[in-house]
Structure 1
Amino acid sequence: MMRAAVLLAALLATAAAHAAEPIRIGITTILSGPTADRGQSEQYGAQLALDRINQAGGVLGRPVEAFYADNACKPAVGVPATRRLIEQEHVPVVIGALCTPVTHAIMPMMAEAKVPLVIATSAGQDFVDASGPGGNDYAFKTIPSEVDIAHALVRWLQTQDVKSVAIVADAGGFPQANAVAMAKAAAEAGMKVTDQATIAPATTDFAPLLDKLKATAPDRLWTMLGKSTTGFFRAYEASGWKVPITGRVDLAAALGAVSPGFRPSLSDLTSVAVFTPLLDKPGVRDFVLAYQARFQLMPTQRSFFVYEATYLVVDAIRRAGSDQPAAIEQALKTTAMPSLLGGTYAPDPHNHAHTPLFILGMKNGNPAVIATEQ
């Protein structure tokens, strides 16, 4: 009898220990190199979500733990780092990879391993096209693509009776993909594209470009700028051109580039955003305040979408009743988890969710949300 009791106690202890083993999720992002701050913002978003999930009891009676792989924004680093998550850490789902070339490189590997990949921050429409009917059943894209963003902005511009746009973007894959998407969305909506220009790297004299764009007399000037923001907006001020600027604009950088006396002239400046901490929704306000309190930083769109992606995979595990990859994949396909932004993460046939987008403008001299596009 004593021996049976000891054996039973040992079995119960083993079962309890197994029940307490963390459920693992993988996250691959940029944690080294010149853009490591971007990956850190993703890591912070995941940490905040996991803190809250585990404080609420975890999932399936177990805590949830993230295992990170630094991909350094290099496929040669990202592929083996992600493979380690699957083969050594045995994660049943991965969130990543922030860096577009790495995301492209790991997608086929994830599909071959039959482990779901939640693409929370890589924006490209090509990820959408490659998923579901595109052949990859294991890729799930949760952030809007440049096509979603362009169509949302065009819809809003139509409400402003805009009939034509000139498009200007920095060189590079991301700005150019957005410029192409905007030109196509505008044309599809019957909006004239009067010109489409690319800013060469290291450009310092923007006056000729502005003169060329001005000659086409567009109703709006659409911009997608990075390092050229300061020089471009200073040249815009000097040009005397009053056409309103829209696009994917860093409003704070644009306002900081011009003289204080010129800022009122940017009262019609607008931008489209997938997330903004300015959004006056209870869940977003709570997220922003909690993030600031924990990390002493303002959250970025990367922070937010990885925060919600963490909840999304945990919700899938809960609904599946399992932390096995196949069960998680099927649960992700049927998710209807609400987003704090509004709407849900219900995927379309290409495993792509469609959350609302936001039009930012100026109110009393400060950036503010002026419209929502579903």
Structure 2
Amino acid sequence: MKHTIVLAASLLCTSFAQAAEPVKIGITTILSGPMADRGQQEQYGAQLALDRINQAGGVLGRPVEAFYADNACKPDVGVPATKRLLDEVHVPVIIGALCTPVTHAIMPVMQQAKVPLVIATSAGQDFVDASGPGGNDFAFKTIPSEVDIMRGLVRWLKSKDIKSIGVVADDGEFQHANAIAVVKAAKDAGINVTADETIPKDTKEFAAIFDKLKGGSPAELVAILGPSTAGFFKAYETSSWKVPVTGRFDLAGALAAVSQTFRDAGGMSELTGVAVFTTASDKPEVQDFVTSYKARYGIVPTQRSFFVFEATYLVVDAIKRAGSDQPAAIEQALKTTTMPSRLGGSYAPDDHNHAQTPLQILGLRDGKPAVIAIE
């Protein structure tokens, strides 16, 4: 398969002089293979931002253009694709790479080239730990990590005076990382962890897992689920266990898994969860993004769409404040940014070049997911 760099066609303001050299932004994401829809979500978010930026006059009196490199979620594809953005297109900054192994693989490439990398959707705490002074000074992470997320969830549980939790997670890298993070955050906060269970892949019967979880009598159950969401909540209904459930999973999927009778009886009334982004947010700035995205593309945006949308604004803001589209100037401007997020808070980086955006605690209102708290 041939992987090429694709120039995104933007709607450029007619006020731009035809001779104006565009400001270039590189974006590497997944544009082929079974996860290409995820990369498309990022592309859509970036393009929505670029269209708005260019309609408002661009930056430095020039239009802004994005150059996309398909990494196919494969390091052996992603590294050469990134080098083409650097060596052939000469982009002064790159947003990427969505796929965790590719992000890891391109970080040293970016560091050697001394070109900033904005990690907008690879969530791992290891990216935070490896970035900033003393590490990779050219890596900037904008999406919360699993450590950020689980600390936020535990703060909220602590505010409810929850003294014990049981933890259960699917057998996957993402779920394992979150389970480790919530167990540590809970212990650090003085919350007793009564169980830490893993759901084996392709589990069909959950009775034994529920028996183990029940044994510790936790005040709240923290579930970190992916493929087993439907099966888990069907088993939750049949278990007759009344413990409240929170964590990281698809709330709508959990609701759909149980019977209407169970929902009507209040069986899911205390269901909650934590999210880095949700279309259920009532913030006007978020709803403006959601409405514009749906009108433009006919689909609902994801957190990937949102964080790349904001990362595009962050990069352009850095170029504007630097008064330059040179990599060194952009790097320094990213280090001093205080650009606000539509979620609240700002993208001001910490000592590891990592921003802290607010987390949304979701609950149910009128039977639908809604933001009930911000952490």
Q: What TM-score range do you get, normalising by the shorter chain?
A: over 0.9
The Cα shift of 1:265 comes to: 0.7
Q: Specify the SS of the correspondent of 2:101.
A: helix
Question: Match of 2:369, as an amino acid?
Answer: P
278, 287, 291: which one aligns with 1:289: 291
Q: 1:12-47 deviations in whole A, cap 9, x for unaligned?
A: xxxx97961111100011111111111111110000
- For 1:83, the equivalent position in structure 2 comes to 83
The Cα shift of 1:201 comes to: 1.0
Question: Match of 2:244, as an amino acid?
Answer: P
The Cα shift of 1:138 comes to: 0.2
- For 1:49, the equivalent position in structure 2 comes to 49
Residue segments in structure 1 that go unaligned for 5+ positions in a row: 1-15
Q: Say if 2:226 is the partner of 1:226.
A: yes
Q: TM-score, normalised by structure 1?
A: 0.94
Question: Match of 2:308, as an amino acid?
Answer: V
Q: Does the 8 Å contact 1:249/1:270 carry over to 2?
A: no
Q: Does the 8 Å contact 1:70/1:78 carry over to 2?
A: yes
Q: Give me the identity figure in percent.
A: 73
- Distance in 1 (alpha carbons) for counterparts of 2:21 and 2:261: 61
- Distance in 2 (alpha carbons) for counterparts of 1:114 and 1:105: 15
Q: TM-score, normalised by structure 2?
A: 0.94
Question: Match of 1:353, as an amino acid?
Answer: A
Q: Which moved more, 1:128-137 or 1:140-149?
A: 128-137
Question: Match of 1:207, as an amino acid?
Answer: A
- CA 1:117/1:270 → structure 2, altered by over 3 Å: closer, same or farther? same
RMSD: 1.1
- For 2:7, the equivalent position in structure 1 comes to none
- For 2:12, the equivalent position in structure 1 comes to none
Q: Specify the SS of the correspondent of 1:222.
A: strand
- Distance in 2 (alpha carbons) for counterparts of 1:181 and 1:134: 24
- For 2:302, the equivalent position in structure 1 comes to 300
304, 310, 313: which one aligns with 1:311: 313
- Distance in 1 (alpha carbons) for counterparts of 2:237 and 2:288: 38
- For 2:36, the equivalent position in structure 1 comes to 36
- For 1:192, the equivalent position in structure 2 comes to 192
Q: Say if 2:352 is the partner of 1:358.
A: no
- For 2:249, the equivalent position in structure 1 comes to 249
- For 1:277, the equivalent position in structure 2 comes to 279
Question: Match of 1:348, as an amino acid?
Answer: D
Residue segments in structure 2 that go unaligned for 5+ positions in a row: 1-15
Q: Does the 8 Å contact 1:134/1:350 carry over to 2?
A: no
- CA 1:289/1:18 → structure 2, altered by over 3 Å: closer, same or farther? closer
Q: Specify the SS of the correspondent of 1:132.
A: coil
- CA 1:290/1:17 → structure 2, altered by over 3 Å: closer, same or farther? closer
Question: Match of 1:132, as an amino acid?
Answer: G
Q: 1:85-113 deviations in whole A, cap 9, x for unaligned?
A: 11111110000011111111110110001
- For 1:109, the equivalent position in structure 2 comes to 109
- Distance in 2 (alpha carbons) for counterparts of 1:70 and 1:260: 43
Higher helix share: 1
- Distance in 1 (alpha carbons) for counterparts of 2:262 and 2:90: 56
